[in-house]
Amino acid sequence: MIEITNIHRQLGGIPILRGASLTVGGGEVSVLLGPSGSGKTTLLRTVNGLEQFEQGTVRIGDLELAPLEQRKHVLSAVRKRVGMVFQQFHLFPHLSVLQNVTEAPRRVGRMPVDQANQMATELLRRVGLESKSHARPTTLSGGQQQRVAIVRALAMSPDVILFDEPTSALDPKMTAEVCSVIQDLAREGQTMLVVTHAIEFARRVGHTLHVMHQGRIIESGPAEQVLESPQHPSTREYLAESCVLGNQPAKPYNAT
Protein backbone atom coordinates (compact mmCIF):
# COMPACT_ATOMS: atom_id res chain seq x y z
CA MET A 1 0.00 0.00 0.00
CA ILE A 2 2.89 2.38 0.80
CA GLU A 3 6.35 2.13 -0.75
CA ILE A 4 8.93 4.74 0.23
CA THR A 5 12.21 4.38 -1.67
CA ASN A 6 15.51 6.15 -1.03
CA ILE A 7 14.03 9.45 0.15
CA HIS A 8 16.42 12.36 0.63
CA ARG A 9 15.32 15.67 2.14
CA GLN A 10 17.33 18.74 3.10
CA LEU A 11 16.29 21.81 5.04
CA GLY A 12 18.52 24.85 4.83
CA GLY A 13 21.26 22.65 3.41
CA ILE A 14 21.07 20.26 6.38
CA PRO A 15 20.19 16.65 5.53
CA ILE A 16 16.99 15.52 7.29
CA LEU A 17 16.35 12.29 5.39
CA ARG A 18 19.32 10.34 4.05
CA GLY A 19 17.95 7.57 1.85
CA ALA A 20 15.03 6.41 4.00
CA SER A 21 13.07 3.44 2.63
CA LEU A 22 10.19 1.33 3.97
CA THR A 23 7.08 -0.50 2.83
CA VAL A 24 3.67 -0.88 4.47
CA GLY A 25 1.38 -3.68 3.30
CA GLY A 26 -2.37 -3.40 2.97
CA GLY A 27 -4.04 -3.80 6.36
CA GLU A 28 -0.72 -3.40 8.19
CA VAL A 29 -0.03 -1.07 11.11
CA SER A 30 3.55 0.15 10.82
CA VAL A 31 5.17 2.25 13.54
CA LEU A 32 8.10 4.65 13.17
CA LEU A 33 10.25 4.86 16.29
CA GLY A 34 13.41 6.81 16.96
CA PRO A 35 14.89 9.72 18.89
CA SER A 36 13.84 13.33 18.34
CA GLY A 37 15.41 14.74 15.21
CA SER A 38 15.76 11.36 13.50
CA GLY A 39 13.38 12.36 10.68
CA LYS A 40 10.22 10.42 11.62
CA THR A 41 7.66 13.19 11.15
CA THR A 42 9.37 14.51 8.03
CA LEU A 43 9.24 11.04 6.47
CA LEU A 44 5.60 10.61 7.48
CA ARG A 45 4.67 13.93 5.88
CA THR A 46 6.24 12.94 2.54
CA VAL A 47 3.53 10.29 2.18
CA ASN A 48 0.76 12.83 1.60
CA GLY A 49 2.87 15.56 0.03
CA LEU A 50 3.11 17.84 3.06
CA GLU A 51 6.91 17.60 2.72
CA GLN A 52 8.83 17.81 -0.53
CA PHE A 53 11.95 15.74 -1.15
CA GLU A 54 14.91 15.99 -3.49
CA GLN A 55 15.47 12.32 -4.34
CA GLY A 56 13.53 9.07 -4.23
CA THR A 57 9.88 8.11 -4.72
CA VAL A 58 6.75 7.62 -2.64
CA ARG A 59 4.04 5.29 -3.92
CA ILE A 60 0.56 4.95 -2.43
CA GLY A 61 -1.14 2.12 -4.29
CA ASP A 62 -0.92 3.08 -7.96
CA LEU A 63 -0.10 6.74 -7.29
CA GLU A 64 3.46 8.05 -7.25
CA LEU A 65 4.92 11.23 -5.80
CA ALA A 66 8.23 12.14 -7.41
CA PRO A 67 10.87 14.58 -6.16
CA LEU A 68 9.57 18.15 -5.97
CA GLU A 69 6.20 16.95 -7.27
CA GLN A 70 4.09 19.94 -8.20
CA ARG A 71 1.28 18.37 -10.28
CA LYS A 72 -1.83 19.31 -8.35
CA HIS A 73 -3.90 16.43 -9.68
CA VAL A 74 -1.47 13.90 -8.21
CA LEU A 75 -1.38 15.61 -4.82
CA SER A 76 -5.16 15.91 -4.81
CA ALA A 77 -5.59 12.21 -5.59
CA VAL A 78 -3.07 11.23 -2.89
CA ARG A 79 -4.71 13.38 -0.21
CA LYS A 80 -8.13 11.90 -0.97
CA ARG A 81 -6.68 8.44 -0.28
CA VAL A 82 -4.41 9.30 2.65
CA GLY A 83 -5.89 10.57 5.93
CA MET A 84 -3.82 12.46 8.51
CA VAL A 85 -4.18 12.64 12.30
CA PHE A 86 -2.03 15.32 13.90
CA GLN A 87 -0.39 15.53 17.33
CA GLN A 88 -2.39 18.63 18.33
CA PHE A 89 -5.72 17.49 16.78
CA HIS A 90 -6.15 20.60 14.54
CA LEU A 91 -9.93 20.55 14.77
CA PHE A 92 -11.80 23.66 13.63
CA PRO A 93 -12.76 25.36 16.93
CA HIS A 94 -15.67 27.33 15.42
CA LEU A 95 -17.36 24.16 14.09
CA SER A 96 -19.20 21.46 16.00
CA VAL A 97 -17.85 17.92 16.18
CA LEU A 98 -20.32 16.84 13.49
CA GLN A 99 -19.34 19.75 11.24
CA ASN A 100 -15.64 18.95 11.67
CA VAL A 101 -16.26 15.38 10.51
CA THR A 102 -18.50 16.28 7.56
CA GLU A 103 -16.48 19.23 6.24
CA ALA A 104 -14.24 17.26 3.86
CA PRO A 105 -16.86 14.77 2.61
CA ARG A 106 -19.21 17.65 1.78
CA ARG A 107 -16.72 20.11 0.30
CA VAL A 108 -14.22 17.73 -1.31
CA GLY A 109 -16.31 14.61 -1.85
CA ARG A 110 -19.48 16.54 -2.78
CA MET A 111 -21.50 14.30 -0.47
CA PRO A 112 -25.08 15.45 0.22
CA VAL A 113 -25.51 17.00 3.67
CA ASP A 114 -27.98 14.38 4.95
CA GLN A 115 -25.76 11.53 3.80
CA ALA A 116 -22.66 13.16 5.32
CA ASN A 117 -24.42 13.71 8.65
CA GLN A 118 -25.63 10.11 8.75
CA MET A 119 -22.16 8.79 7.95
CA ALA A 120 -20.52 11.04 10.55
CA THR A 121 -23.03 10.08 13.24
CA GLU A 122 -22.33 6.39 12.64
CA LEU A 123 -18.55 6.94 12.83
CA LEU A 124 -18.90 8.96 16.04
CA ARG A 125 -21.02 6.17 17.49
CA ARG A 126 -18.22 3.71 16.78
CA VAL A 127 -15.82 5.69 18.98
CA GLY A 128 -18.38 6.48 21.69
CA LEU A 129 -18.85 10.15 20.83
CA GLU A 130 -22.28 10.30 19.21
CA SER A 131 -23.58 12.33 22.18
CA LYS A 132 -20.88 14.96 21.52
CA SER A 133 -21.84 15.58 17.88
CA HIS A 134 -23.09 19.13 18.54
CA ALA A 135 -20.36 20.08 21.00
CA ARG A 136 -17.47 22.39 20.15
CA PRO A 137 -13.99 20.79 20.24
CA THR A 138 -12.83 23.07 23.09
CA THR A 139 -15.37 21.45 25.42
CA LEU A 140 -13.90 17.98 24.88
CA SER A 141 -11.04 16.22 26.63
CA GLY A 142 -7.80 15.61 24.74
CA GLY A 143 -8.67 11.97 24.20
CA GLN A 144 -12.09 12.88 22.85
CA GLN A 145 -10.61 15.48 20.51
CA GLN A 146 -8.13 12.95 19.16
CA ARG A 147 -10.92 10.43 18.58
CA VAL A 148 -12.83 13.11 16.65
CA ALA A 149 -9.67 13.75 14.60
CA ILE A 150 -9.47 10.03 13.79
CA VAL A 151 -13.15 9.99 12.79
CA ARG A 152 -12.55 13.05 10.60
CA ALA A 153 -9.80 11.14 8.78
CA LEU A 154 -12.04 8.06 8.43
CA ALA A 155 -14.86 10.13 6.95
CA MET A 156 -13.04 10.26 3.61
CA SER A 157 -12.71 6.43 3.52
CA PRO A 158 -8.92 6.63 3.10
CA ASP A 159 -6.75 3.75 1.94
CA VAL A 160 -4.13 4.85 4.49
CA ILE A 161 -4.19 6.86 7.73
CA LEU A 162 -1.06 8.62 8.98
CA PHE A 163 -0.69 9.36 12.70
CA ASP A 164 1.88 11.90 13.92
CA GLU A 165 2.49 11.34 17.65
CA PRO A 166 -1.24 10.79 18.31
CA THR A 167 -0.83 10.26 22.07
CA SER A 168 2.02 12.61 23.01
CA ALA A 169 -0.38 15.31 24.28
CA LEU A 170 -2.51 12.83 26.25
CA ASP A 171 -2.45 11.36 29.73
CA PRO A 172 -2.41 7.53 30.20
CA LYS A 173 -6.21 7.21 30.35
CA MET A 174 -6.70 9.23 27.17
CA THR A 175 -3.84 7.34 25.51
CA ALA A 176 -5.67 4.08 26.24
CA GLU A 177 -8.82 5.49 24.58
CA VAL A 178 -6.95 6.37 21.41
CA CYS A 179 -5.02 3.09 21.44
CA SER A 180 -8.31 1.19 21.61
CA VAL A 181 -9.66 3.01 18.56
CA ILE A 182 -6.48 2.30 16.55
CA GLN A 183 -6.58 -1.37 17.56
CA ASP A 184 -10.21 -1.57 16.42
CA LEU A 185 -9.25 -0.05 13.08
CA ALA A 186 -6.40 -2.54 12.76
CA ARG A 187 -8.80 -5.44 13.29
CA GLU A 188 -10.95 -4.01 10.50
CA GLY A 189 -7.95 -4.01 8.14
CA GLN A 190 -7.20 -0.28 8.01
CA THR A 191 -3.67 0.45 6.78
CA MET A 192 -1.86 2.83 9.14
CA LEU A 193 1.57 4.41 9.55
CA VAL A 194 2.18 5.78 13.05
CA VAL A 195 4.96 7.99 14.41
CA THR A 196 5.41 7.72 18.17
CA HIS A 197 7.93 7.92 21.00
CA ALA A 198 5.78 5.71 23.25
CA ILE A 199 7.28 2.22 23.36
CA GLU A 200 4.29 0.51 24.97
CA PHE A 201 1.91 2.21 22.56
CA ALA A 202 4.06 0.96 19.67
CA ARG A 203 4.02 -2.55 21.13
CA ARG A 204 0.23 -2.55 21.46
CA VAL A 205 -0.71 -1.17 18.04
CA GLY A 206 2.18 -2.05 15.73
CA HIS A 207 2.50 -5.07 13.48
CA THR A 208 5.85 -3.85 12.14
CA LEU A 209 8.29 -1.43 13.77
CA HIS A 210 10.76 0.71 11.83
CA VAL A 211 13.51 2.44 13.82
CA MET A 212 14.94 5.68 12.44
CA HIS A 213 18.34 7.16 13.19
CA GLN A 214 19.89 10.19 11.49
CA GLY A 215 17.44 10.17 8.60
CA ARG A 216 17.60 6.46 7.79
CA ILE A 217 15.65 3.33 8.68
CA ILE A 218 18.22 1.27 10.57
CA GLU A 219 16.06 -1.65 11.68
CA SER A 220 12.66 -3.11 10.79
CA GLY A 221 10.74 -6.15 11.95
CA PRO A 222 7.82 -7.49 13.97
CA ALA A 223 7.14 -5.38 17.05
CA GLU A 224 8.18 -7.98 19.64
CA GLN A 225 11.31 -8.88 17.72
CA VAL A 226 12.53 -5.29 17.48
CA LEU A 227 11.67 -4.45 21.10
CA GLU A 228 12.92 -7.68 22.68
CA SER A 229 15.93 -8.47 20.47
CA PRO A 230 17.10 -5.32 18.69
CA GLN A 231 19.97 -5.96 16.29
CA HIS A 232 21.33 -2.48 15.56
CA PRO A 233 23.46 -0.78 18.25
CA SER A 234 21.55 2.51 17.82
CA THR A 235 18.24 0.70 18.36
CA ARG A 236 19.57 -0.81 21.60
CA GLU A 237 20.80 2.63 22.71
CA TYR A 238 17.44 4.25 21.90
CA LEU A 239 15.47 1.60 23.81
CA ALA A 240 17.83 1.85 26.78
CA GLU A 241 17.40 5.63 26.90
CA SER A 242 13.62 5.20 26.67
CA CYS A 243 13.77 2.98 29.75
CA VAL A 244 15.73 5.62 31.66
CA LEU A 245 13.08 8.22 30.76
CA GLY A 246 10.34 6.02 32.19
CA ASN A 247 9.09 4.71 28.85
CA GLN A 248 10.07 1.15 29.69
CA PRO A 249 8.79 -1.84 27.74
CA ALA A 250 6.81 -4.39 29.72
CA LYS A 251 9.69 -6.85 29.35
CA PRO A 252 13.35 -5.85 28.99
CA TYR A 253 14.84 -6.48 25.57
CA ASN A 254 17.51 -9.13 25.19
CA ALA A 255 20.73 -7.23 24.59
CA THR A 256 22.87 -10.37 24.30
Under the phi-then-psi rule, with left for phi > 0, alpha for psi from -120 to 50, and beta for the rest, what region is 89? left
Q: What is the pLDDT of residues 7-50, one digit of tens each?
A: 999 998 999 999 999 999 999 999 999 999 999 999 999 999 99
Residues of the chain with pLDDT > 70, as a percent, come to 93
pLDDT (average), residues 166-183: 90
pLDDT at 129 over 90: yes
Indicate yes or no: pTM above 0.85: yes
pLDDT band (50, 70, 90) for residue 246: very low
| Gyration radius (Cα) of the chain, Å | 18
What the chain holds in terms of domains, given with CATH numbers, is 2-244 (3.40.50.300)
pLDDT band (50, 70, 90) for residue 244: very low
